[in-house]
Structure 1
Amino acid sequence: MSRSGIKHRARKLSRNRYWQSAAGIALTFLIAGATWLYSAEPTAAPDMNTAMAVQIQHNDKPWTEHDSRFSNFVDDLRAGKVSEAVTGNDHLYVTLKDGERYAIVDQLGLAARQTYDFVARYTTPRFQFSELKERPSAAFSAGYAIDMAMRLLIIGVVLSVAWPMLWGFVTSHLKRKKKSKITFDDVIGCGEAKQALLDIAAAQRHPERFSSLGARAPRGVLLTGLPGTGKTHLAKALAAECGVNFIAATGSDFSSMFYGVGIIKVRNLFRQARRKAPCIILIDEIDGIGKRASEPRMGETEQNRIVNQFLTEMDGFNGAEGVLVIGATNLAESLDPALRREGRFDRTIAVALPTLEDRKGLLSLYLSKLKKVGEMDIDRLAGTCMGLTPAAIASLVNQAAIFAAREHASSIEERHVIDAIETNRIGEQPSGITPFTEQERLCIAVHEAGHALTAARLKIGKVDKVTILPRGQALGVTLVIPTEDKRLHRKSELENRIVMLLAGRAAEKMYFNEVSSGASSDLQEATKIALSMVSGLGMGPNKDLATLSVMREAGIEVEPGKTLDQVNTLLREQEAVCDALLEEHRDVMDFIVDRLLMEETINGTEVYAALGMNVRSLHAHDAQGLEQAAAYTGS
């Protein structure tokens, strides 16, 4: 945009804010003035039909200097002593037949109301009763006017600031870049998702191909996948590929502390998209909109209305208008089922983790953005990064640069990247911790040796490093890296994983005839796998095929005791396999323990050498998620 265009836009925004502020102030004074006139006291003349009222109007001291209680007034009424009573000025003035005078404080008007009820019971009143309506004094009128003027001024100033802010909250998410500069060439990996989005891009660029066949272009696309897999980048690349405008919002943008503002935001979003058509709307973290509740509580009513407005808007336009809605979420099950149906979100595209070739491209891309990078073995690094998302790879490359700067290195070397990968997997080595005792070092070494031996012997990934130094929250770590991408896992592979998780505890029991608290996280992970095998995969000891989650959804009560028995049986069976494996290789265990006590950190090749195995010929039998396979903590 030219300089003159920028100045023109700035003047236009300034004028808009000026008129919004002026409208807020005018609205404030209009409402406050009407309220003032409506609530002001009438200026009718006081009722002075009696001599007593006239005297009170001029001087009420003869009554107010004798305060009394309402109970005394009631006693005087019953005795027939009351001659006249006048209410007004927050008092009930009483004159007795013998000339005695007194006043009762009556700020709430309760005494006057009960006196009136007493008089109304009798056709012929026993005493004279009247009401004194006093005209406000000049001082009171002036004070009241000044007070109201100050209130109007304060409210006007507040609204003059709040009104533009409120209007900005309603429309802020619409003020986005018109064009996206990210293309599919900038998005590495996500091959299947790219191909599906390219079909959609063709429908946006050449709608006549579809209309000539009677086909309808999709209205919405839902991108799902793990955090950091590139869903937002894919949506921006699709907008650039189609050559259309791009509006970005998030699910939380439609929430507001003001009732009804969320619905206004939804309407404005789609209205703006129609004006900019052809246009792509990206709603990141669309699960923030949530589901509708069948019996909403107070806080859920507005959420139901926002979801309903979305349903209406997505049904309110067709593909010919050139508006496409892309939703990105990590929790697709949190969306309302009516929003996910065909005709609204026609396509659901799963964005998978990057493959080996994708990881090579990502590492090359992010390393090329750094300065002074040394020689790198991209193939080795890409294999070590298995299971990481593109966002995680970008982060660890940046972390490698931080490590190099910490060491005052002249360039970023491969060891810095490896350190960053290990930090990402098992945490950074803490500093300033209390040194371990010899007994604790021995216990941690035995624990980690058990993990390392079983992982290498059962070929569960690649044992890369074993250390008894603390990393993150762990007191010791065995780093096992998956060596291939897998989506299916056999029963034997899952059982081997349980064996490896139980190996640290089993090694402690074999060496010390007791176990320590260091196996708590291992037991938790092993229990999760065993429970999944029993309740969802049909791999339990009893070979039951019923899935517990489906039975719970159907409302069928499931006795947890039977499931717990199967989980315990499965864990006991694998514990026996683990004990036998460690006893068979007791000499290798002793060697690994001695090396750990001597060096504190050893390479995985030493473990394979002690077992007589060639690490290069390994064929891993497991490559589950990195969170489960990367680190196995010790004590």
Structure 2
Amino acid sequence: MKRVRNTLRSKLGRYVAGGVAAAALVAGATALFWHPAQNAAQSTTTAALTGVANQMRHDTAPWTHREKDVSELTRDIRERNVAAIGVSRDAILVSTLKGDKYFVIDHNGAFSNALVFGELKSGVAAPYQLAWLPDARVRTSSARWSEALDHLRDALSLMLPLLMMGGLLWFMRREMRGGAQLLATAPTMRFDDVIGTGEAKAALADVRAWLTEPAQFTGMGVRAPCGILMTGGPGVGKTRLAQALAGECGANFIAITGSYFSAKYYGVGIQKVKHLFELARKNAPTVIFIDEADGLGKRTDTGGGPVEAESNRIINQLLAEMDGFASNEGVIIVAATNHPENLDEALRRPGRFDRTIQVRLPDLEDRAKILRFYAADLKKKSDDIDFDQLARLTTGFSPATLSMIVNQAGLVARKRGASEVDATHFMEAIKIARIGDVNGAERALADDERTRIAIHEAGHGLVAAILNTGVLEEMTILPRGGALGVALITKMQDKHLYRETEMRNEIQVLLGGRNAELLMFNEASSGAGQDLQEASRITLDMVSKYGFNDDGNLFSLAALPQQHAALQLKESIGQANALLHDLNDACFALLKANEPVLRAIADQLLEEETVPGETVYRLIREHADAVAEAQTVVANAMAA
């Protein structure tokens, strides 16, 4: 009963109830006027019938013992052997002049209609009496089935519209309530369970204090934050932070996505917003977590039609609900997005999502802790795994990616038939995450292509090792992902700032593969295309954004609007191209001075296909004199 009352309270429920009532009135009126008219017609007809026809009207039993087909009836009519014919809804009763009585099945009156029309068309009165028997029933098995089907058809014709309206109402209410999951108890996760994200946890401390001790805020006349917007890349732990906030406060947790408010039916999205906040207030304290909040979109001028108009109404309703929060309602909204610029501006003003928290990638120490945390779930693993080294190899990885690496290490161990997971399996998992798995394309490479790839990767690795741009971990000519070869270089520590010298060295590492090919084969290949693209991007940023150019121009094109920046880009491209040529010459000179080392590294790659970084450093030490000479050449080239 409660559900029925709630349904009737809604506008849609009232419309459906009104439709049902109208249908019932129409059906009642039809029954009221139909039956008296039918009875009157029947009484009039009864008074006019005489003889055999009148007998048919009162008792059809004598005619139902014998059944004949239509051909028998047709022959009797042709031979003028018919005394009376009674037409009912499902049969024709026939009395002959000889006194025989029988019936003919006539579903839907097909034959009787033809009989009457034929008589009317001929214009000659029939030599037999023809009577309509509205209440007569021939109770054969086929007639009973026909009658049951007729009743079923009539019932369906009446009930089907009502069922469709009820089904539509049910689906709309189901869609309105679906997707929001209220946890019966607060999440058990705490801030200590979320590794890293110290800045975000510190910012959420005020929210925790307000939910646990709101009197401290209200007593001082301080308004607590209404909404928290967490930004950051995918997999950095925004959802876990929201769950930990609810767990710290002992609050219920409602998790939805930005697309939750989208609906197939007009108006359902607004009802979803209302239902969500009613649910949160009823179960306060509550943390509402909206993941992928950029799915809410932005309000427009509705020029796109009803779809955009509905989106605008949803955002307006969300704004109204957030404005309606009282200071003691105990409801906090936490939204997460990778693209905060796609949120409506009104959602980000004070009083709505009035605090923005940047959730950053884990640093070196946090990555080691995360790897240890997930590795604890491995049943069998080696004791000599250096998680600090693995953390150094995973710079820029999110917690979600680190979790995947640990699981991937277990899969690699199983694939190789190992009894436990060791450091080599973790290394392979990291390479799979960075550059992809070995794809077996080496079988399709010709010998000259393998040699060129070995020279190319040796050039990258040698320049990186000499210029000390990072730690050369490994080099391989086994195709991985979309690359035909890889030189894996990692940073000793997480970097947030890059000096001009460091960026110049990075560009030389990118140009090392192409220059090695030029040095050994006097021409480059298309394999350096991606390297040139990245080197060009860095040099353009150096001269157009960071002021790293020779003419002393400090103006940054990033300060200009996009349409104006394009007009000034030509000069910056010229400066970037000049810088790229200078660094290319320095890189070629460096490789030329270390040509013996380059050949030795390439030979090692052709022989073993995968060479650890220690081998490259050893070969450089063995050619110490060449390295010293190379440093002199580089210094002279840079001075020029």
Pairwise TM-score range, normalised by the shorter structure:
0.7 to 0.9
- CA change 1:35–1:584 in 2 (3 A) is farther
Counterparts of 1:613 and 1:195, CA distance in 2? 52
Counterparts of 1:349 and 1:582, CA distance in 2? 47
Do the aligned partners of 1:537 and 1:547 also contact (CA within 8 Å) in 2? yes
- The Cα of 1:174 is off from its aligned counterpart by 2.7
Matches within 5 A, 1:87-486: 150=156, 153-178=159-184, 179-294=186-301, 296-298=303-305, 299-375=307-383, 376-431=385-440, 434-486=443-495
The aligned amino acid for 2:195 is I
Counterparts of 1:572 and 1:345, CA distance in 2? 49
> In structure 2, what is the equivalent of residue 490 of structure 1?
499
> In structure 1, what is the equivalent of residue 122 of structure 2?
none
Counterparts of 2:229 and 2:610, CA distance in 1? 46
- The Cα of 1:192 is off from its aligned counterpart by 1.2
Do the aligned partners of 1:551 and 1:557 also contact (CA within 8 Å) in 2? no
The aligned amino acid for 1:560 is L
**Partner secondary structure for residue 482 of structure 2:** coil
Do the aligned partners of 1:29 and 1:152 also contact (CA within 8 Å) in 2? no
- The Cα of 1:221 is off from its aligned counterpart by 0.9
Counterparts of 1:30 and 1:545, CA distance in 2? 78
> In structure 1, what is the equivalent of residue 573 of structure 2?
564
TM-score, normalised via structure 1 length: 0.72
- The Cα of 1:161 is off from its aligned counterpart by 4.2
> In structure 2, what is the equivalent of residue 536 of structure 1?
545
| Structure 2 residue 616 is matched with structure 1 residue 607 | yes
- CA change 1:439–1:314 in 2 (3 A) is same
> In structure 1, what is the equivalent of residue 45 of structure 2?
none
Give unpaired runs (5+ residues) of structure 1.
1-10, 44-137, 139-143, 615-635
The aligned amino acid for 2:175 is F
Structure number with greater CO (CA < 8 Å, separation at least 6) is 1
- The Cα of 1:556 is off from its aligned counterpart by 6.8
The aligned amino acid for 2:182 is R
Do the aligned partners of 2:291 and 2:336 also contact (CA within 8 Å) in 1? yes
Counterparts of 1:149 and 1:459, CA distance in 2? 86
- The Cα of 1:545 is off from its aligned counterpart by 3.3
Counterparts of 1:289 and 1:182, CA distance in 2? 28
C-alpha offsets along residues 522-574 of structure 1, whole Å, 9 cap, x if unaligned?
12222222232233323345444333343125867624322322332232222
C-alpha offsets along residues 426-456 of structure 1, whole Å, 9 cap, x if unaligned?
1100136643111101110111011101111
Counterparts of 1:495 and 1:272, CA distance in 2? 57
**Partner secondary structure for residue 357 of structure 1:** helix
- The Cα of 1:281 is off from its aligned counterpart by 0.8
Do the aligned partners of 2:557 and 2:565 also contact (CA within 8 Å) in 1? no
- The Cα of 1:191 is off from its aligned counterpart by 1.1
Counterparts of 1:503 and 1:256, CA distance in 2? 54
C-alpha offsets along residues 578-622 of structure 1, whole Å, 9 cap, x if unaligned?
1121112112111111111111110111111222299xxxxxxxx
The aligned amino acid for 2:206 is D
Counterparts of 1:549 and 1:295, CA distance in 2? 32
> In structure 1, what is the equivalent of residue 637 of structure 2?
none
- CA change 1:575–1:164 in 2 (3 A) is same
Do the aligned partners of 2:557 and 2:568 also contact (CA within 8 Å) in 1? no
**Partner secondary structure for residue 222 of structure 1:** strand
The aligned amino acid for 1:603 is P
- The Cα of 1:465 is off from its aligned counterpart by 0.5
- CA change 1:609–1:300 in 2 (3 A) is same
> In structure 2, what is the equivalent of residue 116 of structure 1?
none
Counterparts of 2:553 and 2:18, CA distance in 1? 70
- CA change 1:14–1:543 in 2 (3 A) is farther
Counterparts of 2:271 and 2:585, CA distance in 1? 64
Do the aligned partners of 1:267 and 1:313 also contact (CA within 8 Å) in 2? yes
C-alpha offsets along residues 47-72 of structure 1, whole Å, 9 cap, x if unaligned?
xxxxxxxxxxxxxxxxxxxxxxxxxx
- CA change 1:432–1:442 in 2 (3 A) is closer
Give unpaired runs (5+ residues) of structure 2.
35-133, 135-149, 624-640
* Pairs aligned (count): 502
Counterparts of 2:622 and 2:178, CA distance in 1? 62
The aligned amino acid for 1:390 is P
Counterparts of 1:240 and 1:186, CA distance in 2? 10
- The Cα of 1:150 is off from its aligned counterpart by 4.7
Do the aligned partners of 1:22 and 1:160 also contact (CA within 8 Å) in 2? no
- CA change 1:569–1:419 in 2 (3 A) is same
The aligned amino acid for 1:411 is E
- The Cα of 1:235 is off from its aligned counterpart by 0.4
- CA change 1:263–1:558 in 2 (3 A) is farther
TM-score, normalised via structure 2 length: 0.72
**Partner secondary structure for residue 223 of structure 1:** strand
- The Cα of 1:212 is off from its aligned counterpart by 2.5
- CA change 1:265–1:586 in 2 (3 A) is same
**Partner secondary structure for residue 455 of structure 1:** helix
- CA change 1:232–1:25 in 2 (3 A) is same
- CA change 1:565–1:257 in 2 (3 A) is farther
**Partner secondary structure for residue 253 of structure 2:** strand
C-alpha offsets along residues 206-227 of structure 1, whole Å, 9 cap, x if unaligned?
1222222221111111111111
The aligned amino acid for 1:464 is E
RMSD of equivalent CA atoms: 3.4
- The Cα of 1:251 is off from its aligned counterpart by 0.4
The aligned amino acid for 1:262 is G
- CA change 1:436–1:318 in 2 (3 A) is same
**Partner secondary structure for residue 173 of structure 1:** coil
C-alpha offsets along residues 245-282 of structure 1, whole Å, 9 cap, x if unaligned?
11111101111222222222112212221222221111
- CA change 1:408–1:151 in 2 (3 A) is farther
Do the aligned partners of 1:506 and 1:578 also contact (CA within 8 Å) in 2? yes
Counterparts of 2:225 and 2:13, CA distance in 1? 44
| Structure 2 residue 520 is matched with structure 1 residue 516 | no
**Partner secondary structure for residue 289 of structure 2:** strand
- CA change 1:308–1:37 in 2 (3 A) is farther
Normalized per residue, the structure richer in helix is 2
- CA change 1:25–1:314 in 2 (3 A) is closer
C-alpha offsets along residues 93-137 of structure 1, whole Å, 9 cap, x if unaligned?
xxxxxxxxxxxxxxxxxxxxxxxxxxxxxxxxxxxxxxxxxxxxx
The aligned amino acid for 2:316 is N
**Partner secondary structure for residue 372 of structure 1:** coil
Do the aligned partners of 1:28 and 1:152 also contact (CA within 8 Å) in 2? no
C-alpha offsets along residues 13-59 of structure 1, whole Å, 9 cap, x if unaligned?
99999x99999986765577799999xxxx9xxxxxxxxxxxxxxxx
**Partner secondary structure for residue 346 of structure 1:** strand
Greater Rg, structure 1 or structure 2?
2
- The Cα of 1:331 is off from its aligned counterpart by 0.9
